[in-house]
Structure formats: C-alpha cells, structure tokens
Amino acid sequence: MATLRFQALDKATSRKPVSFEETGRKSEIFGSNVFNDKAMRQFLTPDAYKAVKSAIELGTKIDRKIADYVAMGMKEWALSKNVTHYTHWFQPLTGTTAEKHDAFFETSMDGSDPVEKFGGSQLVQQEPDASSFPNGGIRNTFEARGYTAWDPTSPAFIFGSTLCIPTVFVSYTGEALDNKTPLLRALSAIDTAATEVAKYFDKNVKKITPTLGWEQEYFLIDAALAASRPDIIATGRTLLGHTSSKGQQLDDHYFGSIPTRVLQYMRELEYECMLLGIPVKTRHNEVAPGQFELAPIFEETNLAVDHNSLLMDVMEKVAERHDFKVLFHEKPFKGVNGSGKHNNWSLATDTGVNLLSPGKTPMSNLQFLTFFINTIKAVHDNEELLRASIASASNDHRLGANEAPPAIISVFIGQQLTKVLAELEGVTQGKLSPEEKTDLKLNVVGKLPDVLLDNTDRNRTSPFAFTGNKFEFRAVGSTANCAVSMTTLNSIVAKQLIDFKKEVDALIEKKDLKKDEAIFNILREYIKQTKNILFEGDGYSEAWAKEAKKRGLSNHKTTPEALKAKVSKKAFDLFAELGVMNHVEVESRYEIELEEYVKKIQIEGRVLGDIARNHVIPTAIKYQNTLIENVRGLKEIFGKDFEKIAKEQIALIKDISTHIEEIHRNIDEMISERKKANNLDNTEKMAAAYCNKVKPYFEIIREHSDKLELLVDDEMWTLTKYRELFFIK
C-alpha cells in the first residue's frame, strides 16, 4: 500500500478552511507596519525627518550624526510595536531575499545594564558573511568582503517581530553583489535621460520615476500532498506525473469562484500585505486548475521590486498557516499553463504625467509618441539583451510552451497605433510646410486620445505589449526577481533616450530645424528602422517562429543560449556607459546565472533518477509480481489453455518490463552524461552540456514512467497523482 500518498490524501480531504477575519478597514491598517511618512513624522526629530525625506526625494547623503537620530526614532517605533530584533534585508544574487536577525537587546560584559540598543552605525551598515552568497568571482578578484548599506528610498518595515531595513549589498571595492544596486543605478540613469527629453515638452519637469506594477501568478496545492512528492519538495515542480484526464480543457477555473480554503488564504495574505504597505488590489483564479494571480497598484520601481520579493516571502509564510504550499515555479505541471510575472512598466514625471499615456493636446501627444517610439526602438535594438534578462532554467519551460510568450521578443502596439506610426512614417524630410504641421497636429497627434479609447484589442500572446498607458513585459518568469528585467529595460530605454536627445539636438543646431520638426524627423527614421520588432499576430503560432526567423529576430529557447547576450560587447558598453554595471559586475552575473542553471538541472536530474528508481520501478515490479502470480494461478487452473486466458496479463508483464528496462538504461546514460559535464573546465561549457546532453533524458525517462503510472494498480502507486494535486482543496 502506498502509505505516504494515501495518508496525504486522507489529510488533505479532511481539512476545513482556516477562517480568517480582517480587523480594521484597509485604508486604516494600510502601511501600519511600515516606517512610512506618518511614522517618521511621529518618531523622528524634524532634522532627522528632513534628512530622510531629502535622501528619498533628492538622493542626498545622510550624515552619521543624523543617522543616529533616525535609528533612535526607528527603534522607538519598532519597540512600540513589540519588535525584538532587526535585520538588514537584502537581495543577493541567489534571486531571493536574505536576512540575519540581531536582537536590539544588549548588556554590558558582566550582564548588568540590560538595554535595547540600535544606533546609526547599525542602521547604516552591516557586514554579513559575503562568502556564503554567490559572487561570480568578484571576491576572488578583489579579495574583498561585502557589506550591506541602508537604502532609504525603500522604507523599513516590520515582519513578524523583526524590523527589516532594506539595504544594498556591495563588496568593499564597490562592486554590486546584489540585484538592488544595479537597479537603483538604472533608475537613476533613466531619470536623468528621460528628464532631459521630457524638458522638450515641459520645462518644469525635474524628475522621472519609472513605475512598475507586477502581476504574480502562482499555484496553490495542499501542503500534505506537496510533501508527498519528493520532486516538488526538491525542485518546486513535478518531474513525473501523467496528465490528469481533466485539466484546463473546460476553461472552468479562470475567473471562476475561488475555493473557500483558498479564499481564506487570500484574505489573510491581503491583510498581511496591507500591514506591510503592499497595495494589493486584484485576486482571481488563473487558467490552470489550482492557479491564481495577485496584482497590486503600481508603484515606484525600486519599491515595487522590494514589495514583490517581500510578497513572495509573505505568501509562503501565510500558506503554512492554511496548510498550503505555494508553487512559484514557471511550469510546475506538464500539460497545463505555467506561471508568469507580468511587469507593467511606465514612466511618470514629478509633474504628475504618465509619459506613456496619450494626453489631451497635440504637444502632449507628441511627448507620448516620443517616449512610446523610443521604447520600441530600445527593445528593437536590444531584443537579445531583454530576452537574456528573463532567462532561467525554470522559465525555459514556459517560454515557447502552451499559452505563454515565445522565446522571441516582439512588441504589440495595436491597430490604431500601427496606423499612427504609418502616418508619421510619411513625414517630410527636413523642414515641414505650415500645412503639413497643421495636418500633423490636427489629424495625427491631435486625434490620439479618441483612437486609443477603443484600443481594446489586447493581444495576450505578445511578450511585450502596449496596453493603453503602459508597456507590459509578459515574458518575465514567476520566480524571477523583477530587479533583473527592470534593470535591463530601464537601462536600454535610458541609453535610447540619450541617443535620441543627441540626434534631435544635432538636427536643431545643424539643420536649423524647429524642435518639433526635429523630433518628427528622428521619430520617422526610428519607425522605419524598427518595423521588424512589431508583431500583431498570434505569437504562439508556428508561422510566427518562421516569420521571426526571416526578420532576423533571435529565438533563444534555452538559458545557456540566451544568456550569451549579457556578455556581448554591446551589453558591456551599454551598462558601463550608463554606470549601471562595470565589466566585472556584468561578467560575475553571467557566471552566477550559468552556475545556477547547472545546479538546477543537476538537482533535477538526480531527483528524477532517485524517484524513478526508488518509487516508480519498485512499484512497477510489485504490480508485475501480482500479475505474474495471477498468470501462474491461471496456468494451474486452466493448464495449456492459460495462454489465451492470460493474454492481456502477459502482454502487460512484458510492457512493464520494457518500460523498466528503458528507465534504467536512460538513467544510466543520463548519469554518464552528467559525469562528463561535471568534468568540463568552464561553466559555459558545463551549462551547454547540461542543457543539450543531460536534460533531454528528462523527457524520455518521464515518458516511460508516466506510461507505468497508467498501467499500474492505482492502490499501489506511491506518487500523488496530478488529479489529486490539482483538485483536492
């Protein structure tokens, strides 16, 4: 009897929803565990408050003495909420978050004078043991230790009984060891570049803030069922499992009513998010059974990235209380949709304008078109780098698979804007006649708001789609730290805007064109140059893959292939020019991502070998033995007639033997390929070998195992089945 599976099923089927009641209105509790403006006003001295505000808004430094006052206020606030510990909270290159808790509590050497202590120095800087985090050779090169430093632009918050202080993580020589540092630099680069361009349209603009609204997709399965699957525990996905007869065919899950247990989970999750100031707004079922989505109101990008990382932690913690396991993996189950994390992105001015939203006047629409077309140009010129920014072993399962963006980057802009671009393409070279100017103002840029209102033809198959007032980068994986894709996107657009400004200024100076004439002229050229990246059709179709190939667009289906763009000369130059990452920082990230890829595939290979040999084969043999017993019995009773009577059983016995043999043989071959891969002398070669030589065995082994799942007596099968993982809630 397959005990673990049936015990888990017993547990899962007998659960009652863990009910949860919110206390207080959302608007009242929102941010109450955040050291936000309200808390700062209450707990900081006026000087300290002013210093922090100016650090947030203008990026000014906070001097040490003021930092002491800030720390004091923060500590008082935290103690007033029964907090006992503090931690620097950071995002090392593992892709997750890290924290090391220290108590506020201190005594003198002899144990006297117990006191709660937290000074400026503890707030501003800490030294976690950098050697335990991936550094891709940075430390070896510089023999440097790492330290964390307070990022005042993301407010401190309380999680559990710990005060968490968002920090950057850098080496003593200044190289970024985390995902936040390059992001902050990219945000600053695009602020500068976009402000310069926005000034063409409004002299009062002083600051541009990139905005991010992520949408987090995830699967929820019962904790006991999850724990009964060694592959889910070790890899976050099922390596084996025959597809359930019922999956998502009926489309009955999407936007359907949310199961009660899940709804209670979501309520508590949202409550926790409210306390932490994460402005979650929508929740609904997704397409696959057991799949859900959660999305917040968009925020400034650095804060939005922190909030997404924090959310993923909170989701796991709340899930424990509701006996659920959250699966963030991009493709936890074969045969149903995977999960993504759409990154909705735009640019906002300090004068309150969304630069990707068409305005009310021809001038504001020209501004919109400027940022819109420059974004398309940036994506066009850097499609491979953008693809590289979302590459990971787990996202490889999703890119190009059913109901997910393909590995080809293209931009969807909709019918109306396609028409507008076609008209702008016809703008005269050089100076424009007064008639043409009037026509452009009245009929092209003047009409935008009306046309966009009915721009409802949203293409769900595009990896990078314009959705009315923002771009939506949909190919980002559900496990990803948004900092990586956001660093790339903001960097390429920043670089593009710098180039655009230079080109426009040159036309104004050398050709004596008026500002808007120069802008029209440059935009016209961009429209001509970037047609290849625009695609309005079905992104999942075979035809598009062929067409994209003709257009010369990249289609890197695997991580080792895709990542190469990160270490191209173009990428090194781009990040260096903007001051986002130097050569060593870029290279180290490449190295770390390849290493991570190798480790993930290595672990999956091992786990797959183990469960195939320890679960699948023994079970198959057990079942085969009962068949053999049966045949033997039939022979005893029926004598030589038995062969006719036991025909099916005998065929089954043979079938099972074939699958067992194939599984054994393929595992042996996979192991020998793994050994060869491990002996290669560099990570790049190793990653390629794991990708092309080791990974292909996964599907073969799985196929034989899944066939056995269909043949073997259900009572004996040890691995919890897809239908159980999907539907028992």
- The footprint of Mg ion (CB under 5 A) covers 342
What residue 493 binds from Mg ion, ligand ADP, none (CB within 5 to 8 A, per partner kind)?
Answer: none
In this chain, which stretch among 85-93, 292-300, 586-594, 676-684 interacts with ligand ADP, using CB under 6 A?
A: 292-300
Give min distance, CB of 352 to ligand ADP, in A: 12
Q: Which is nearer to ligand ADP, 89 or 466 (CB)?
A: 466
CA pair distance 153, 45, nearest whole angstrom = 19
Which of residues 399 and 445 has its CB atom nearest to Mg ion in the complex? 399
Measured CA to CA, the distance from residue 406 to residue 475 in angstroms comes to: 8
**CA-wise closest residue to 254 among 292, 215, 294:** 292
> How many residues lie near ligand ADP (CB under 6 A)?
16
C-beta closer to Mg ion: residue 240 or 305: 305
* Residue 237 vs 342, nearer CB to ligand ADP: 342
Shortest separation between residue 461's beta carbon and Mg ion, angstroms? 12
Cβ proximity to ligand ADP, 307 vs 501, nearer residue: 307
Binding at 469: pick from Mg ion, ligand ADP, none (beta carbon under 5-8 Å per type): ligand ADP
**CB atoms near residue 441 (< 10 Å):** 17
Tell me whether strands 162-171 and 85-89 are parallel, antiparallel or unpaired: parallel
Name which of 232 and 489 has its Cβ closer to Mg ion: 489
Interface residue with ligand ADP among 135, 346, 410, 479 (CB under 6 A) is 346
**342/702 with CB nearer Mg ion:** 342
Q: Which stretch binds ligand ADP (CB under 6 A): 196-204, 441-449, 468-476, 518-526?
A: 468-476
- Site for ligand ADP (CB under 6 A): which residue of 54, 188, 192, 354? 354
Q: Which does 133 bind (CB under 5 to 8 A by kind): Mg ion, ligand ADP, none?
A: none
**Residue 472 or 596 having the CB closest to Mg ion:** 472
By the rule CB under 6 A, 412 interacts with ligand ADP: no
Query: What is the three-state SS of 127-163?
Result: CCCHHHCCCCCHHHHHCCCEEEEECCCCCCEEECCEE
User: Which residue, 312 or 688, is less far from ligand ADP as judged by CB?
Assistant: 312
Strand bridging mode 162-171 / 471-473 = unpaired
CB of 607 to ligand ADP, least distance (A): 34
Nearest approach, Cβ of 472 to ligand ADP (angstroms)? 6
Q: CA angle at residue 397 from 392 to 400, to 5 degrees?
A: 105
Is residue 211 a contact point for ligand ADP (CB under 6 A)? yes
Site for ligand ADP contains 470 (CB under 6 A): yes
* Reduced 3-state DSSP string for 550-607: HHCCCCCCCHHHHHHHHHCHHHHHHHHHHCCCCHHHHHHHHHHHHHHHHHHHHHHHHH
Site membership for ligand ADP, residue 345 (CB under 6 A): yes
Question: Minimum Å distance from CB 213 to Mg ion?
Answer: 9
Strand partners, 166: 89
Only segment of 62-70, 88-96, 344-352, 660-668 that touches ligand ADP (CB under 6 A): 344-352
Closer residue to ligand ADP, CB minimum distance, 120 or 414: 414
- Name the residue nearer to ligand ADP (CB basis): 271 or 298: 298
CA 349 to chain centre: 26
3-state secondary structure 214-260: EEEEEEEEEHHHHHCCHHHHHHCCCCCCCCCCCCCCCCCCCCCCCCH
Q: Name the 3-class secondary structure at 497.
A: helix
Task: Name the residue whose CB lies closest to ligand ADP.
Answer: 213
Torsion of CA 23, 28, 29, 30, to 10 degrees: 140
| Residue closer to ligand ADP (CB basis): 286 or 593 | 286
> Nearest to residue 312, comparing CAs of 453, 429, 217?
217
Whether 171 and 142 have beta carbons less than 8 Å apart is answered as yes
Nearest distance from residue 154's CB to ligand ADP, in Å?
17
Query: Does residue 469 belong to the site contacting ligand ADP (CB under 6 A)?
Result: yes
We find the least distance from the C-beta atom of residue 452 to ligand ADP, in angstroms, to be 14
CB of 457 to ligand ADP, least distance (A): 13
CA distances from 619 to 1, 499, 722 (A): 10, 64, 18
Of 305 and 440, which has the nearer Cβ to ligand ADP? 305
Using CB under 6 A as the binding rule, whether residue 344 contacts ligand ADP is answered as yes
Q: Does 467 bind ligand ADP (CB under 6 A)?
A: yes
Task: Tell me which H or E stretch contains 545.
Answer: helix 542-551
**Torsion 533-537-541-546 (CA) sign:** negative
| Residue 317 structure tokens | 């913690």
What residue type is assigned to position 263 of the chain? L
Could you say which of Mg ion, ligand ADP, none residue 297 binds, taking C-beta under 5 to 8 angstroms by partner kind?
A: ligand ADP
**455 makes contact with ligand ADP (CB under 6 A):** no
Give dist(CA 305, CA 180) in Å, integer: 9
The verdict on 351 binding ligand ADP (CB under 6 A) reads no
Of the residues 298, 464, 544, 623, which one makes contact with ligand ADP according to CB under 6 A: 298
Under the criterion CB under 6 A, does residue 371 sit at the interface with ligand ADP? no
* Beta bridge partners of residue 170, listed in sequence order: 147, 176
Contact with ligand ADP (CB under 6 A) among 295, 326, 409, 728: 295
Other Cβ atoms less than 10 A from the Cβ of 161: the count is 12
Identified binder of ligand ADP from the candidate list 99, 178, 215, 516, rule CB under 6 A = 215
Are 708 and 269 contacting, i.e. CB atoms less than 8 angstroms apart? Answer: no
Q: Cα 699 vs. chain centroid, distance in angstroms? A: 25
Residue with tokens 């408050």: 49
Query: Contact residues for ligand ADP (CB under 6 A)?
Result: 211-213, 215, 295-298, 344-346, 354, 467, 469-470, 472
